[in-house]
Amino acid sequence: MYIEYKFLADANVGKLARLLRMLGFDTVYDNAFSTQQLKEIAGREDRVLLTRNPAADKLFPAIRRFIITDENPYIQVKQVIKYFDLEERLRPFTRCIACNGVLHAAPKGNIIDILQQNTALYFDDFWQCDDCNRIYWKGSHYERMLQLVEDINEEG
């Protein structure tokens, strides 16, 4: 049975949230969410709460949750992928790592006025977030991110 997991990360796992977004997983995160807000969002949107809080079982008894056991975000993401059997569901670079919005190809001509000069000069392929309008391209950071995705895939 195929389950489409949606996640909610608490303040203790913010870097994990960004990594999950980078891998294409719908992950809501704001380090200012209160315990009550986490309960409401998880319930209303049917999200799995990701936390390092050992008291989560008592704080969130009616919420699906996964308690992260490691401090290292790279190990955390591997824990989540393995536990939820997500190895075959990675869709890297399809979500905004800043806000969780969906990314779509953005023709250079449509965004040229908002690109920095060197970015416009040296890059041709762009993606833009539907929600926050942030623009992405395969800059110097892309190879490092791609290597991380490959490492997660291999070790997952």
The answer to whether position 98 is within a domain reads no
Classify residue 14: in a domain, yes or no.
yes
Percent of the chain with pLDDT over 90: 78
**Is 120 among the domain residues?**
no
For 95, other C-beta atoms within 10 Å of its C-beta total 23
Q: Which domain holds residue 33?
A: 7-89
Cα of 94 vs its chain's centroid, Å: 10
pLDDT, tens digit (0-9, with 9 covering 90-100), for 8-38: 999 999 999 999 999 999 999 999 999 999 9
pLDDT tens figures, 71-97: 999 999 999 999 999 988 999 999 999
Q: Is residue 155 situated within a structural domain?
A: no
DSSP 102: B
Integer angstrom CA distances of residue 137 from 60, 71, 81: 39, 30, 26
Cβ proximity of 139 and 117 under 8 Å:
no
How many independent structural domains does the chain possess?
1
What is the distance between the alpha carbons of residues 104 and 135, in angstroms, rounded to a whole number? Answer: 10
This prediction has a pTM of 0.91
